[in-house]
Structure 1
Amino acid sequence: MVTSRDIPIGVALIGAGMIAKTHVAALSAARDIARLSAIVSRNPDKAYYLKDFYEGPAPVFTSDIAAVAADPSIEIVIIATPPSVRHEIIGTFASAGKHILLEKPVARNSREAQDVVEICAAHGVTLGMLFQHRMRAPAMAAARHVASGALGKLGLVEIAVPLWRAQSYYDELGRGTYARDGGGVMITNAIHSIDLALSLTGPVIQVQAMTATTPLHQMEAEDFATAGLTFANGAVGTFTASTAMFPHRTETITLHFENGSLRMDKDALDVHWRDGRHQIEGQSRTEAAVASLTGRFEWHQAVIEDFIAAIRAGQAPMVTGREALASHRLIEAIERSSQAGTIVDVPQG
């Protein structure tokens, strides 16, 4: 007997920017449970190249958001537009009963993000976030260690996001501005590491910070941020992020517990126990599904599959929109601390 669970769920992708091909490749790999029905772009003709990244029947390419919202065969929309233009789009799809999987960040600031969360709640639709770093094997291994309690009490946290972006990255219209993105390196780049770290450490309650725009970039918002952190559980830590650090290096999160330390990057988790044991876990498999033209998409695929499973089970997805508010509040607290030159409290939700 065929049931609705045996039929791939209809999905629309809203936005055809630089991340779109990753979403399309991920949906192609997940087409046993997801059917890419439509791609919405302001210029559908320019988005038509995306069909080459999808192995199923070609989706409809359109600029008609209302028509996609009215399509009963589409249950989920993935919204990957710039934060400045997504508020109205979210309202349209939420009021149409579509579940929403949202590219980070939720919005340009905490106030807008809170509004997005409440809009989705008012219409009874699920709002999930594409924080795909949580699906990396090292991150999942770290989460298992933390949940086991064997590491003991957390004492010190190091979050490092040492990235390089050429000026051409910020020459794209609106990038690195408060009007389009809501900020610079923190909300656009480091928010992935912030979300992942908070999922392992719990909330930050106080920060003392400095942010700046280095002479290496011409942009409105910050390309450098650093902060001292105080966590609710009593741990302390440091956060440093920049897109002016050449050469480009991988983000790392290091957690020092009373019985051992975890050092995590995208490729592996190093576990150093106080008794002398050393483990390397969660190393990336060379046979992972990677398309040469799209780069890695398996983490996006895993988030999409988790979201679909959550919808079908009536459960919360891996990262909800409400949970994502913690990252927004921390970023804004770092900005306020830098402006004030003093320690500030981080609002708790």
Structure 2
Amino acid sequence: MRKSRIAIVGAGLAATPHALALNELNDEVEVVGVVGRSAERLERFANTYGFPIASSFNAVLDDARVDAVLVLTPPHTHLELVEQAAAARKHVLLEKPLDISMPRAERAVEVCRKAGVQLVVVFQNRFRPAVERLATLAKSGALGAIAYAGVDLRWWRPQSYYDEPGRGTYARDGGGVLLTQAIHSLDILMWLAGDVSTVVGATATTALHSMEAEDFASATLTFESGAAGHVLATTAAYPGFPERIELIGTNGTAVLEGGHLRAFFHDGRVDEFHDPSSSGFGAKPMDFSHTAHRDLLKDFLRAIREDRSPLVTGDDALRVQRLIERITAQTGRRP
């Protein structure tokens, strides 16, 4: 089997778990180049993980050896990079979110579809063992028909996190806690409970942070299935707590808190599973294992090789971003 060849665009905070994952998958994939804006950071990253530095993004796109690009740059840069990659017939693995607005997000998905290249967004939490087990319970019908699905994400980020230029702004990030942190849990919620028909939402910036976008959001949902739903998300809950996803079905209830899954069935059975890995819910955003990134990368590479749909698609990311847009649109905060 020929190794897939991938280039990395961006060497910032999000790059570390991907680099660790790629090195573990070195029997399947070769990193042929890394590009980034900061020469110092790029050299440090490349030396740490043993990757070669490419001269430019254009050089990566012109390199016939490159099958795919891994885009790890800030959200407001995504569309243009995706457009260039698609035009060069390179498959794209894109850090979330798709981009900072729905028109730009939709355009990113459309250009990849027209070019016939794969677009996968980094929703690595789908590959966490406890989430996979929850998905099996929901999709097998073990819980029965879903009557309620909710997310409760009470994380903590210190002010220093938002002091980085552009972080928590609409121009660079497209929003706050919903688009940057809660998007992962919302993806799982919609993956398991389906599309949402009605939304009543509210957002705020609490006194704990000085930032442009929201650090608190809540919403009451009704799913197209008729199930009720609720979302609460914040980065102002010191010192940070594992996120909670709850599914109530006609046969039982499943509660996932971080990596701890408990399912309680009407017949008296209790199913319990624990994955000790963290999700970066406290002051250290990257305090989590890279194994879910590894499994997402593996699925991406095999989807390319086998010409099949990956587990996470650009359309999946669009669905979640539309929900976030519907929540924030009701507040009148976003310019």
Task: State the TM bucket, normalised to the shorter chain.
Answer: over 0.9
Q: For residues 91-170 of structure 1, what are the structure 2 equivalents within 5 Å? A: 91-170=83-162
Contact 1:136 1:266 survives alignment (8 Å): no
Q: Which amino acid aligns with 2:265?
A: W
Structure-2 separation of matches of 1:143 and 1:18? 29
Q: 1:315 aligns with which of 308, 313, 318?
A: 308
Change (3 A) 1:79 1:66: same
Give a deviation string over 1:193-243, Cα, whole Å, max 9, x none: 000111000011111111001111111000000011100111111100001
In structure 2, the residue matched to 1:24 is 19
Contact 1:138 1:265 survives alignment (8 Å): no
Change (3 A) 1:285 1:18: closer
Structure-2 separation of matches of 1:98 and 1:264? 37
Give the 3-state SS of the residue equivalent to 2:308 in structure 1.
coil
2:43 aligned with 1:75: no
Contact 1:21 1:53 survives alignment (8 Å): no
2:5 aligned with 1:10: yes
Give the 3-state SS of the residue equivalent to 2:148 in structure 1.
strand
Q: Which amino acid aligns with 1:26?
A: A
Contact 2:79 2:105 survives alignment (8 Å): no
In structure 2, the residue matched to 1:283 is 275
Q: 1:193 aligns with which of 169, 185, 192?
A: 185
Structure-2 separation of matches of 1:337 and 1:39? 40
Structure-2 separation of matches of 1:45 and 1:163? 31
TM-superposed deviation, 1:267: 1.5
In structure 2, runs of 5+ residues without a counterpart are: 279-285
Give a deviation string over 1:2-61, Cα, whole Å, max 9, x none: xxxx1221111111110111111110011110111111111233222223553xxx3222
Give the 3-state SS of the residue equivalent to 2:130 in structure 1.
helix
In structure 1, the residue matched to 2:327 is 334
In structure 1, runs of 5+ residues without a counterpart are: 1-5, 287-292, 341-349
RMSD: 1.7
In structure 1, the residue matched to 2:208 is 216
Contact 1:97 1:123 survives alignment (8 Å): yes
In structure 2, the residue matched to 1:289 is none
* Total equivalences in the alignment: 326
TM-score, L = length of structure 2? 0.93
Give a deviation string over 1:265-291, Cα, whole Å, max 9, x none: 3312111111221111253489xxxxx
Contact 1:151 1:258 survives alignment (8 Å): yes
In structure 2, the residue matched to 1:41 is 36
Contact 2:76 2:172 survives alignment (8 Å): yes
Give the 3-state SS of the residue equivalent to 1:199 in structure 2.
helix
Q: Which amino acid aligns with 2:320?
A: S
Q: Percent identical across equivalent pairs?
A: 39
TM-score, L = length of structure 1? 0.90
Q: Which amino acid aligns with 1:208?
A: V
Contact 2:34 2:46 survives alignment (8 Å): no
Structure-2 separation of matches of 1:297 and 1:251? 18
Structure-2 separation of matches of 1:70 and 1:186? 36
In structure 1, the residue matched to 2:282 is none
